[in-house]
Amino acid sequence: MYAVIATGGKQYRVEKGQVLRIEKLDAEPGSTVTFDQVLLVGAGSDVKVGSPLLAGAKVTGTVERHGKGDKVSIVKFRRRKHYLRMKNHRQLFTEVKVTEIV
């Protein structure tokens, strides 16, 4: 059984037992989170699609840990104009283990 959920401005295809990295959530490690924005639930050839959300469907999971992603360098450069801007960014994330799809 799998589902497609929306969180943090993105959509994820999840299955039971899967660990996924999503945008940072305000939840303590070990706590349970519920995703109510379920777009699709499928099991084999039986697929239920919402328009846009599926009523009564939800996905629950436990928060494994919080962390920072890899460093991304941003460089803005214009040749012969004495213009150079360099910045770095590390995106915060939360790892969630999917425990149940209803």
Digit-coded pLDDT (tens) for 1-52: 999 999 999 999 999 999 999 999 999 999 999 999 999 999 989 999 999 9
pLDDT tens digit sequence for 51-87? 999 999 999 999 999 999 999 999 999 999 999 999 9
Q: Which residues fall within 8 angstroms of residue 52, CB to CB, at 6 or more apart?
A: 39
Do the Cβ atoms of 41 and 3 come closer than 8 Å? yes
pTM of this prediction? 0.86
Label residue 96 by pLDDT band (50, 70, 90).
very high
Residue linked to tokens 């960014």: 89
pLDDT at residue 27 in the model = 96
